[in-house]
Structure formats: structure tokens, C-alpha cells
Amino acid sequence: YINIILGVHPFHINPEFNRDNSTNFHGQFFLNSNAMDIDLQPLPALTYTTIGGIIDLYIFTGPTIQNVIEQYWDIIGKPIMPPFWSLGFHLCRYGYNSIENMLATVKRMDDANFPYDVQWTDIDAMSSYLDFTYDEKNFHGLPDFVRSLQA
């Protein structure tokens, strides 16, 4: 609600084929926080339609694909290596409805000796569907449950 932390990065890289059989690359990054559509037709057009906001259009001239990516990283920063656990199997669903149902799911997974790395809940565990909150009535003890999974 208060601080939006999600975003999109409409970024693309295009090859340019030269007559001497060499290839140059350029890229575009269309930065805008509003809803948008990107149409790739009629060819060869690329049409950005947005409902408002400030438009920052970055053109990266390359000439190599590596140059384009480095120029893009100069704007947004380099990507980070995700934590190892985040690359494993994740289990999530809507409708756990309570911490007891989640505990039963974890127990069934353990009893089946099924390895998994992450247990998620969905929006039904939130308080009034607000991000970074949880329903303290139906999901009482959630912080302790999370700590027990981390141990």
C-alpha cells in the first residue's frame, strides 16, 4: 500500500545485421511506473502505450551485447545472486486457512520424506489482505512457526 516495491523492466536487445556480416546490438529500456501495453505490430514498429506518469526512455548503443547489458546495469544496478534456498522446491497454496493446516502440510511432507526448501502461504494468511501482515487469529504463532522451519 504505502511503499510499492514491485516493478517491471520493459527492456529488450536488438541485433543489427550489417552488410559486412558483422552484428551490432542496441537496447531500449522504457521506465514508467504506470500501467502500459507494448505492441510489436504493425512491423517493424514497437509501440509503448502508457496511462500516464514520467517516461524515461533509455537507448543503449552497444555495440556488443555485453556493452548493452553493462549500460543497462549502469541504470538499474547489477543483479544479485539469489540465496541458495530460493532455488529449491517451493510449496504454496491458497486456502490453508489456519496455522494448524499449514503445520499438518509440513508434517505430511516430512512423513513422506519429501525434500522441499520453502513453505509459502497465500493472501488468506494476511490481515485484511495487506502485504507484510498476517492474521493473528487464524495464524497465531506464525513467527515461531517460521523460526522452527528455519532451524
The answer to whether the beta carbons of residues 35 and 48 sit under 8 Å apart is: no
27 belongs to a structural domain: yes
59 beta partners = 28
Backbone angles phi, psi at 67, to 5 degrees: -60, -45
4 belongs to a structural domain: no
User: Into how many domains does the chain fold?
Assistant: 2
For the entire predicted model, the pTM comes to 0.59
Q: Give yes or no: residues 91 and 47 share one domain.
A: no
What letter would DSSP give residue 82? Answer: P
Q: Give yes or no: residues 69 and 93 share one domain.
A: no
1 belongs to a structural domain: no
Q: Give yes or no: residues 49 and 106 share one domain.
A: no
The per-residue pLDDT string of the chain (151 residues; one tens digit each, 9 = 90 and over) reads 455 556 688 999 999 999 999 999 999 999 988 889 989 888 888 888 999 988 899 999 999 999 999 999 999 888 888 899 899 999 999 999 999 999 999 999 999 999 888 999 999 999 998 989 999 999 999 999 999 988 7
Per the structure, the complete domain to which residue 97 belongs is given by 84-150
Domain stops at, among 76, 92, 115? 76
Domain stops at, among 76, 106, 130? 76
User: What is the distance between the alpha carbons of residues 73 and 70, in angstroms, rounded to a whole number?
Assistant: 5
Q: Give yes or no: residues 48 and 66 share one domain.
A: yes
Domain stops at, among 33, 60, 76? 76
Burial class (CB in 10 A: 0-12, 13-18, 19+), 137: exposed
Q: Which three cell numbers stand for residue 45?
A: 514498429
